[in-house]
Structure 1
Amino acid sequence: MSAQLPACQLLERYYGQAAQLWPIAPPEDPWLIDRSKAMVSDNVSLRGLWEGRDKAAVSPFDVPFVQQAGQVVLFWPKAHQLGIWWLEWLCRMLPENTPVDVVGEHQGGIKRVPKILSGLGMRCDKLDNARRCSLFATRTVAIENPDSAWQRFEALSLTLMSHPGVFGHGKVDEGTQLLLHAVETALEPLPPKALKVLDMGCGDGILSAWLAARGHEVTAVDVSAFAVEACRRTLAANHLSGQVLESDVYSALEGQRFDLIVSNPPFHQEREISYGPSARLIEEAPNHLTGKGQLVLVANAFLPYPGLLERTFGSFETLADNRRFRVYRAKPEDSSKTSVQASKKRR
């Protein structure tokens, strides 16, 4: 088996097929899984791939932390502040002078790594360069400072906690603001009672906190451990309660149904566009909505979600459109009406 992704191809070229690696924040590549002893990732979906091969896979927030065997290889993320956090995390978790290699694509910012390592007081040796990727070697240093990457800010009368790697880090994006306004409008005609709400892809928890502050019973999920921790901290900072879980779309929610599912779903994985999670969000939503429940999501206007909503629910409506973003609403009852109408036509 050969590596598929450029950064992994560089590792295969340098280490060979006898590689025994311990990847940090790795991408999905069968060769890498095969050559790994264990891995660390914030992504619960990726951890599942390693666990499926009976390999240790942990979140950076798991405690106690247990060092694993193999050459440590950090895959440099597109957000360089997140890359710095991973370097500092490795220095806090591993013994001083532990060898660490850093790999990444040139268009992903790996060329900035030597300067970043220098700023952290860490050595830097270039090991290899190919496939428009570079591989550097460094060693951990003693870092006594606590994790200072968390950012606290105020928005919409709420205190929000954010972390590098979380969507919209440090701000409330335009799409989320449009979604909140549309949700408020959509809920106004309903009786003033607590709804069972799912915040799918919770990010820093702005939607969860906004809904919990209005008395709703909130469950929040995200594939990223950074987002899950941020959402938990946001709820705590506002003295609000809610269930927050790591989940690959609905994977942690078997059998649960909600009156309202809200989402600002991502469509990027690093630099690649991916509609897979968003498609699952829409297609599986009827299985997680109550009879009178509703799915409300915001998306960039150019994304092909209307077709998915039409196929899944039979119909949908646009609650808001500012030309850059659109807020869509769909209901299972629309799907059942469409099925009844189709049945009558067949008769």
Structure 2
Amino acid sequence: MPAETAVCQLLERQAMDYRGWLWVAPPRDAWLEEGEGRLLSADHAVVEAWRARGRLASSALADDPCHEPVPPPGAVLFWPKSHALGEWWLLRLCQALPAGTPLQVAGENNGGIKRALKVLAALGLGCRKRDSARRCTLYETRLEPVSLNPDLAWSRFEAEGLTLASHPGVFGHGKLDDGTRLLLERLPALLPEGDAAMGESETQHAVLDVGCGDGILAAWLARRGAAVTAVDVNAFAVEATRRTLAANALPGEALASDVYSRLEGRRFDAIVSNPPFHQERAIDFGPAARLIREAPAHLAPGGQLVLVANAFLPYPDLLEAAFGSFEVLADDRRFRVYRAVRR
């Protein structure tokens, strides 16, 4: 199958034998998924798509990203939108793969690929431009040992009386998002406090945080006594939420899940979310549409969905179709907080 995305079309035209190579943080593209090599990605949906085809695929934070004792003959890094995340990936690859391993770095010109040159130079990795086409550029270099530890990318900050863990590539990295702040202002009136300290499960409300990010909603809910489950498709977000809960000595589980993919058969008293609506620079309502459309199946009778979204997004129609009715709890012209109840 021919490549579907511009950056993969650039790679497809290379006179290269990519068999056995490691594909790092790629987009969804059938040319890759039906081809050769292994995957390393922070996107749970991409990892599962490769595994469904019987392909070797590892999560970004796996202890052994190469799966096999024989290292790959080379790697291709798809440069991310986040400059700091791109640096983390380079450090990770320098740490995980043998010195001298060929590395290609590919990306769209208006997606920040040229910034990779500065990062490579700062790490002492000389590179050359191999090709450019379809408004994309491909660089190549070789990996060498680097003294910096990729774990240094983790950071902490304080918000709402909580200590939050953060990592490049996680939504709202290093700060509290204004939409999340507006949502938190409305939640106390909607979700009564339980008694987690007493360990009395009958007083606890089961709450699901979809798109948990750095774990601010999960930790805030757990502090009020809710039995919290947090999910995110991003492996860094799942780990950030786990670290946030641990830093605040709060209970809760965090799972890598593509919206509800890991939650079959489970129902909750409430679902809260500040859902993502874009993938890189292209607007994509897919995850948020699934969040809303499938929410009734994951809510107990009388359960509620509470979410915050940019005011311009077309969520009212989705909420009306899924629940029959909804209400707007807050609107500051930038963000709206919606609530819908399963009847």
Correspondence for 2:117? 114
TM superposition outliers: structure 1 runs of 4+ over 4 Å: none
Q: How do 1:11-50 and structure 2 match up within 5 A?
A: 11-15=11-15, 19-20=18-19, 21-50=21-50
Q: Tell me, yes or no, if structure 1 residue 154 matches structure 2 residue 158.
A: yes
Partner of 1:80: 83
Corresponding residue number in structure 2 for 1:265: 275
Gaps of 5+ in 2: 196-202
Displacement of 1:194 in angstroms is 1.9
2:147 pairs with one of 129, 144, 157: 144
Moved more, 179-188 or 277-286: 179-188
Q: Distance in 2 between the 1:53 and 1:15 partners?
A: 25
Distance in 2 of aligned mates of 1:282 and 1:294:
11
Q: Measure the CA separation in 1 of the matches of 2:29 and 2:78.
A: 12
Instruction: Please state how far the C-alpha of 1:144 moved relative to its aligned partner.
Output: 3.3
Percent identity of paired positions between Structure 1 and Structure 2: 58
Change (3 A) 1:265 1:156: same
Q: CA deviation at 1:22?
A: 2.0
Instruction: Pick closer, same or farther for the CA change 1:98–1:216 going to 2, 3 Å.
Output: same
Question: Which amino acid in 2 is paired with 1:298?
Answer: V
Q: Is this contact kept in 1: 2:231–2:256, CA < 8 A? A: yes
User: What is the CA–CA distance in structure 2 between the aligned matches of 1:114 and 1:164, rounded to whole Å?
Assistant: 19
Task: Quote how far apart the aligned CAs of 1:70 are.
Answer: 4.8
Q: State the Cα distance separating 1:314 from its structure 2 match.
A: 0.5
Match of 2:6 in 1: 6
The answer to whether the aligner puts 1:131 opposite 2:141 as a matched pair is no
The one-letter code sitting in structure 2 at the alignment partner of 1:108 is: G
CA distance in 2, matches of 1:319, 1:186: 10
CA distance in 2, matches of 1:167, 1:332: 28
Aligned counterpart, 1:332? 342
Paired amino acid for 1:2 = P
Contact 1:22/1:36, CA 8 A, preserved across alignment: no
CA contact (8 A) 1:125 1:136 kept: yes
Deviation at 1:323, TM superposition (A): 0.8
CA distance in 2, matches of 1:278, 1:26: 22
CA distance in 2, matches of 1:53, 1:110: 29
The letter for the 1-side match of 2:273 is S
Deviation of 1:64 (Å): 3.5
Distance in 2, matches of 1:143 and 1:242, equals 36
In structure 2, the partner of 1:194 is: 204
Q: Give 1:45 deviation, angstroms.
A: 0.5
SS class of match (1:125): strand
**Is the CA contact 1:99–1:138 (under 8 Å) kept in the aligned structure 2?**
yes
d(CA) in 1 for partners of 2:55, 2:285: 28
Gaps of 5+ in 1: 334-347
Give the count of matched residue pairs: 331
CA distance in 2: counterparts of 1:102 and 1:65, whole angstroms: 18
After TM superposition, give the deviation of residue 272 of structure 1 in Å. 1.0
* C-alpha displacement of 1:285: 0.6
1:322 counterpart = 2:332: yes
In structure 2, relative to structure 1, the CA distance for the partners of 1:159 and 1:125 (3 Å cut) is: same
Using the alignment, how far apart are the partners of 1:168 and 1:137 within structure 2? 31
Query: Match of 2:14, as an amino acid?
Result: Y
Match of 1:338 in 2: none
The CA distance in 2 between the partners of 1:83 and 1:332, in whole Å, is 42
Distance in 1, matches of 2:3 and 2:191, equals: 50
What TM-score do you get using the length of structure 1 for normalisation?
0.92
Are 1:297 and 1:328, in contact at CA under 8 Å, matched by a contact in 2? yes
Superposition map of 1:200-239 within 5 A: 200-239=210-249
2:255 to 198, 220, 245: 245
Output the CA distance in 2 between the equivalents of 1:6 and 1:191. 50
- Which residue among 171, 175, 188 is the counterpart of 2:175? 171
Query: 2:164, 2:247 within 8 Å by CA — same for their partners in 1?
Result: yes
The letter of the residue matching 1:286 is P
SS of aligned partner of 1:14: coil
**Structure 2 Cα separation of the partners of residues 191 and 118 of structure 1:** 53
Distance (whole Å) between structure 2 residues aligned to residue 278 and residue 139 of structure 1: 40
| Cα deviation digits, residues 309-333 of structure 1 (max 9, x gap) | 0011000011111111000000111
Whether contact under 8 Å (1:153, 1:160) holds in the other structure is yes
* Deviation (angstroms), 1:261: 0.3
Q: Which amino acid aligns with 2:318?
A: L
Which residue type is aligned with residue 79 of structure 1? S
**How well do the aligned residues superpose, as a CA RMSD in angstroms?**
1.4
